[in-house]
C-alpha cells in the first residue's frame, strides 16, 4: 500500500470523474463551482500530499439552486475515513482470519478489530444487497459469492493496476445516491 503509483492513478481517475461531473453542469443548467470537502484519509502513506485531503465536489452557482454535485471517487468509499484501497485490501486479507493476520492488519493499517468487522459487514451486507451490486454482479461469470467480497471481486480484475480497476468499478457507491448507504468508517 506504499506504492505511490497507485495513489497517483487513483488521483487521476478522481480528477477525470470530477471533470466529467463539472462539465455536465447542474441539472438546472447552472455552472458548477468547486466546493471540495476536506478529508483526513487514514491508512495511506504519509506523503500523499495536500490533494489527497480533498474530496471533489461542486455547488451550483445559480441563485436559489445551490444544488451540490459530488462525483464518484476511486480514492474514497463514501464517508469512510480510511482510503478505499485500504478498506478493500484489509477486508480481503481478513478472509480466513488468523491471529497473525489480524495483528498484521492492525500494525500495518492501524485498523482495530472492530473496524475490520464493520468493513466485513459492509461488504457482505450493505454492498452485497445494494442495487448497485445486484445490477453489476451479473457481469461476472462465474458469479462472485457475496461471502467472498471484496476478495473474490478483487481477483476478477487483472492488469497493471487491478486495485485501481476495482476501485473505479465500485466508484458509483461512493456517492449518496447509490442507495446502499451504510456507514462503515
Q: What is the pLDDT of residues 110-134, one digit of tens each?
A: 778 788 888 888 998 999 999 999 9
3-state secondary structure the chain: CCCHHHHHHHHHHHHHHHHHHHHHCCCCCCCEEECCEECCCECCCCCCCHHHHEECCEEECCCCCCCEECCCCCCECCCCCEEHHHHHHHHHHHCCCCHHHHHHHHHHHCCCHHHHHHHHHHHHHHHCCCHHHHHHHHHCCCCCCHHHCCHHHHCCCCCCCHHHHHHHHCHHHHCHHHCCCCCCC
Kindly list the domain boundaries of the chain, sorted by start residue. 4-173
How much is the pLDDT for 21?
Answer: 93
Mean pLDDT of the chain: 84
Residue that wins the pLDDT comparison between 162 and 96: 162
Q: Place 94 in a pLDDT band, splitting at 50, 70 and 90.
A: low
**pLDDT at residue 25 is higher than 90:** yes
Residues above pLDDT 90, as percent of the chain: 42
Amino acid at each position: 500500500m506504499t506504492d505511490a503509483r497507485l495513489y497517483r492513478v487513483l488521483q487521476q481517475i478522481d480528477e477525470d470523474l470530477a471533470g466529467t461531473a463539472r462539465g455536465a453542469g447542474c441539472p438546472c443548467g447552472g455552472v458548477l463551482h468547486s466546493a471540495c470537502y476536506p478529508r483526513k484519509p487514514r491508512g495511506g502513506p504519509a506523503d500523499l500530499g495536500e490533494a489527497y485531503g480533498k474530496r471533489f465536489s461542486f455547488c451550483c452557482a445559480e441563485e436559489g439552486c445551490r444544488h451540490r454535485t459530488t462525483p464518484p471517487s476511486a480514492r474514497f468509499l463514501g464517508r469512510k475515513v480510511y482510503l478505499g484501497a485500504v478498506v478493500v485490501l484489509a477486508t480481503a486479507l481478513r478472509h480466513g482470519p488468523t491471529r497473525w493476520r489480524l495483528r498484521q492488519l492492525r500494525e500495518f493499517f492501524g485498523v482495530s478489530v472492530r473496524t475490520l468487522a464493520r468493513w466485513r459487514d459492509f461488504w457482505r451486507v450493505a454492498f452485497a444487497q445494494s442495487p448497485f451490486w445486484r445490477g453489476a454482479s451479473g457481469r461476472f461469470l462465474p458469479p462472485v459469492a457475496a461471502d467472498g467480497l471484496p476478495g473474490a471481486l478483487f481477483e476478477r480484475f487483472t492488469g497493471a493496476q487491478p486495485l485501481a480497476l476495482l476501485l473505479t468499478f465500485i466508484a458509483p457507491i461512493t456517492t449518496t445516491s447509490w442507495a446502499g448507504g451504510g456507514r462503515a468508517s
